[in-house]
C-alpha cells in the first residue's frame, strides 16, 4: 500500500503484523473501503498454547520466576480489534492514515517476564480475565512489489482490565479479583496484500491538445511603413506586436492560445529560474536574442515588455499568488542580466493561479474525447467525459479557489487529480514573456535610448 492513488484502487486488503508474530501469536487483519479515503477493518489474534517451563523464552518474552516443571509459561489470549481509518497525503492522498480502534481481549497470562519491567506481578502469578480499550494510531504505507505493500503503525490504547489473580504454582489457588486501568502501546509492521482488479486494456484516445504553454515572446510593435529589424523578426516571431495591439493582462485571457507566446517553466513550489529545467534553455535564448536585437535596432522603439507569472492550481491560493509574482520577477531579472533594459519598460504581472488556462485545457480534452467517442466510462489510468463535465461545472459555480481544488482532489478517490497532475498541471507552473508594444523611431527620433516620448506611450 504505497502511494496513494494505487492504494485508492483497492477495495479489499489483508494485513499480517510481523511484530505481533514475535509473541508467537498468529494474527490476521482485513480492511474494506467504505467511502473515498475511508476504510474499516478487523484484526484477530489468537494464541492458544502454553509453553513448558523448561523453555527459557516465549517469543520475545522471558520465562518468569516459577521454575517448577509444572509451571508453564502462559501467554494464551484471543484479541478482537475493529478499526476505522481516514487516509490522506499531500502528494499521494492514500499514503498515510489516522486510525481509531476499539479492542477486546480474553487472556490467561502467567510466569512471564515482560520487557522494561512492566507487569512485574506476572513473573510469579497468573491472571485470567478480559480487557477493553479504545485507541488511536498513525501509519504509513510503502509499495514493495505487485500487490504487496509494507505498513508501519504507531499508536496508544487506554482501557480497563478485569481479572482474577491466581498462584502461579500449578495455576491453582485464587488470590484476588481486581479491575485496573492500563495503557497499551500499539506498534505494527505489517505485510499487506492488496489485490487489484484487472481491467481490460482500452486503447487510449488520440488527443491532440496543446498542454505545454509556450513561454512569452517579447511583443514588439511592427510598423510596416518603417520596416527594419522589428518587421523582419515579426515574420518568424509572432510574439512581436504593434503598440496598438497591447492588452493589459486579466483573467479572461487564455495565454496558451495567444499566437507566439513564449513560456519558461518552474519546478513545483519554486520561483528560481533554471536553464536545465524542461526546455527553458532554448526559450531563454530566444527571449534574450529577440530582446537584444530589438533594443539595439535604430528603426524601432520599445514601449513595454510584458511578463506574466503563473502558478498551477495546486496548493493554497495565497501561496500561489506570491509564487506567480516571484516567477514574473525571476524572468525580468534574467533578461536584465543579459540585456541592458531599464525597469521602466517592464510590466511584470502576477497572474496568480491559472484557473482560466486550466478550464480551457479541460474543455479541450472533453471536446476531443467526445469527438473520438472515448471516455464514456471509467477506465483505470484514464479520465472520463463525466469527470471533465463535473470539473467544468465546479469551476463555473464554486468561487472559493481552495475549496474548488480540494473537491477536485477528492474526486474518484484521487484518480482524477492524479491524471490532471500528470497531463495538465505541470504545464501551468510558468512565467510568460511578451513584448506587446514597439513602434517606429519616428515617434522618438530625438531619443535613441528607447525612453518613450508622450506620443509613443499611447
Question: What angle is formed at CA 19 by the lines to CA 13 and CA 21, rounded to 5 degrees?
Answer: 85
The cell for 308 is 506574466
- How many other CB atoms sit within 10 Å of the CB of residue 300? 27
Give the residue extent of every domain in the chain.
Answer: 4-193, 228-444
Cβ 192 vs Cβ 94: under 8 Å: no
Backbone phi and psi for residue 203, each to the nearest 5 degrees, phi listed first = -65, 120
User: Which pLDDT value is given to residue 40?
Assistant: 94
Backbone phi and psi for residue 13, each to the nearest 5 degrees, phi listed first = -140, 150
What number does CATH give the domain 4-193? 2.40.160
- How many angstroms separate the CA atoms of 226 and 449, rounded? 18
Question: For residue 441, which of 286, 238, 220 has the smallest C-alpha distance?
Answer: 220
Cα distance between the two ends of the chain: 62
User: Which pLDDT value is given to residue 52?
Assistant: 60
**What sign for the dihedral angle of Cα 326, 332, 337, 341?**
negative
Cβ 161 vs Cβ 129: under 8 Å: yes
CATH architecture of 228-444: 2-Layer Sandwich (3.30)
Half-sphere exposure in the Cβ direction for 432 (13 Å, CA): 31
Question: For residue 25, which of 116, 99, 83, 105 has the smallest C-alpha distance?
Answer: 105
List strand residue ranges (DSSP E) for 198-323, in order.
Answer: 262-265, 300-311
User: Which pLDDT value is given to residue 226?
Assistant: 41
Binning the chain into helix, strand and coil, the percentages to the nearest 5 are 30, 35, 35
Q: Tell me: the pLDDT tens digits for 299-316?
A: 666 777 888 888 888 888
- How many angstroms separate the CA atoms of 186 and 448, rounded? 77
pTM to 2 decimal places: 0.46
Cβ 288 vs Cβ 264: under 8 Å: no
458 residues of the chain, pLDDT tens digit each: 333 333 444 678 899 999 888 888 899 999 998 887 889 999 999 988 776 644 555 555 566 565 554 556 777 899 999 999 998 876 566 788 999 999 999 988 877 777 666 677 777 778 889 999 999 999 998 888 878 889 999 999 999 999 988 876 555 678 889 999 999 899 999 999 988 654 444 454 554 544 445 554 444 444 344 455 666 666 666 666 666 677 777 777 777 777 667 788 888 888 888 888 888 898 888 888 888 887 777 666 677 788 888 888 888 888 888 888 898 889 889 988 988 888 888 888 888 888 888 889 899 988 988 888 887 776 767 888 888 898 999 989 998 988 888 898 888 878 888 888 888 776 655 555 554 444 432 222 222 222 222 223 22
Cβ 345 vs Cβ 302: under 8 Å: yes
Pairing relation of β-strands 125-145 and 96-110?
antiparallel
User: Which pLDDT value is given to residue 225?
Assistant: 42
**What sign for the dihedral angle of Cα 147, 418, 367, 238?**
negative
Cβ 265 vs Cβ 277: under 8 Å: yes
Question: For residue 216, which of 237, 193, 197 has the smallest C-alpha distance?
Answer: 237
- Spatial neighbors of 161 by CB under 8 A, at least 6 apart, are 129, 130, 131, 179, 180, 181, 182
- Spatial neighbors of 342 by CB under 8 A, at least 6 apart, are 450, 451
**What per-residue string of b and e applies to 186-210 under the rule 16 or more CB within 10 Å gives b?**
bebebebebeeeeeeeeeeeebeee
User: Which pLDDT value is given to residue 202?
Assistant: 45
- Which residue carries 481481549 as its cell? 105
User: Which pLDDT value is given to residue 457?
Assistant: 28
User: Which pLDDT value is given to residue 161?
Assistant: 93
- Spatial neighbors of 17 by CB under 8 A, at least 6 apart, are 27, 29, 43, 188, 189, 190
Looking at 250-354, list the stretches that DSSP marks H as alpha helix, in order from N- to C-terminal side: 280-296, 317-338
Residue 23: Cβ-neighbour burial (10 angstroms; 0-12, 13-18, 19+): middle
- How many angstroms separate the CA atoms of 27 and 20, rounded? 7
Amino acid at each position: 500500500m504505497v502511494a496513494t492513488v494505487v492504494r485508492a484502487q483497492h477495495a479489499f486488503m489483508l494485513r499480517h503484523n510481523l511484530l505481533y508474530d514475535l509473541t508467537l501469536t498468529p494474527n490476521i487483519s482485513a480492511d474494506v473501503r467504505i467511502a473515498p479515503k475511508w476504510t474499516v477493518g478487523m484484526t484477530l489474534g489468537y494464541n492458544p498454547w502454553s509453553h513448558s517451563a523448561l523453555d527459557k523464552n516465549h517469543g520475545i518474552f522471558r520465562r518468569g520466576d516459577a521454575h517448577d516443571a509444572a509451571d508453564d509459561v502462559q501467554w494464551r489470549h484471543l484479541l478482537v480489534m475493529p478499526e476505522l481509518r481516514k487516509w490522506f497525503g499531500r502528494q499521494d492522498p492514500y499514503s498515510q492514515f489516522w486510525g481509531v480502534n476499539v479492542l477486546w481481549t480474553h487472556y490467561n497470562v502467567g510466569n512471564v517476564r515482560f520487557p522494561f519491567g512492566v507487569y512485574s506481578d506476572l513473573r510469579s502469578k497468573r491472571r485470567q480475565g478480559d480487557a477493553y480499550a479504545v485507541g488511536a494510531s498513525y501509519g504509513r504505507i510503502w509499495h514493495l512489489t505487485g500487490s504487496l505493500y509494507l505498513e508501519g503503525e504507531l499508536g496508544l490504547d487506554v482501557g480497563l482490565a478485569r481479572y482474577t489473580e491466581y498462584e502461579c504454582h500449578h495455576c491453582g489457588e485464587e488470590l484476588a479479583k481486581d479491575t485496573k486501568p492500563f495503557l497499551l502501546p500499539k506498534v505494527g509492521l505489517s505485510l499487506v496484500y492488496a489485490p487489484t482488479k484487472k481491467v481490460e486494456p482500452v486503447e487510449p484516445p488520440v488527443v491532440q491538445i496543446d498542454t505545454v504553454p509556450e513561454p512569452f515572446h517579447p511583443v514588439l510593435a511592427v510598423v510596416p511603413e518603417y520596416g527594419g529589424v522589428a518587421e523582419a523578426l515579426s515574420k518568424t516571431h509572432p510574439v512581436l506586436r504593434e503598440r496598438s495591439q497591447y492588452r493589459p493582462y486579466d483573467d479572461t485571457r487564455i495565454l496558451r492560445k495567444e499566437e507566439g507566446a513564449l513560456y519558461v517553466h518552474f519546478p513545483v513550489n519554486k520561483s528560481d529560474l533554471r536553464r536545465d529545467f524542461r526546455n527553458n534553455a532554448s526559450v531563454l535564448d530566444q527571449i534574450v536574442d529577440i530582446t537584444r536585437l530589438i533594443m539595439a535596432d535604430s528603426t524601432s522603439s520599445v514601449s513595454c515588455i510584458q511578463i506574466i507569472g503563473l502558478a498551477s492550481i495546486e496548493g493554497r491560493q495565497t501561496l500561489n499568488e506570491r509564487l506567480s509574482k516571484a516567477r514574473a520577477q525571476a524572468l525580468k531579472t534574467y533578461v536584465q542580466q543579459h540585456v541592458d533594459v531599464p525597469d521602466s519598460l517592464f510590466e511584470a504581472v502576477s497572474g496568480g493561479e491559472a484557473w482560466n488556462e486550466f478550464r480551457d485545457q479541460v474543455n479541450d480534452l472533453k471536446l476531443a474525447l467526445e469527438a473520438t467517442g472515448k471516455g464514456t466510462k471509467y477506465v483505470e489510468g484514464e479520465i472520463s467525459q463525466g469527470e471533465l463535465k463535473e470539473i467544468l461545472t465546479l469551476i463555473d459555480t464554486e468561487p472559493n479557489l481552495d475549496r474548488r481544488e480540494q473537491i477536485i482532489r477528492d474526486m474518484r478517490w484521487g484518480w482524477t487529480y492524479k491524471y490532471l497532475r500528470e497531463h495538465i498541471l505541470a504545464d501551468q507552473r510558468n512565467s510568460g514573456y511578451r513584448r506587446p508594444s514597439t513602434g517606429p523611431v519616428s515617434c522618438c527620433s530625438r531619443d535613441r535610448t528607447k525612453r518613450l516620448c508622450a506620443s509613443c506611450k499611447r
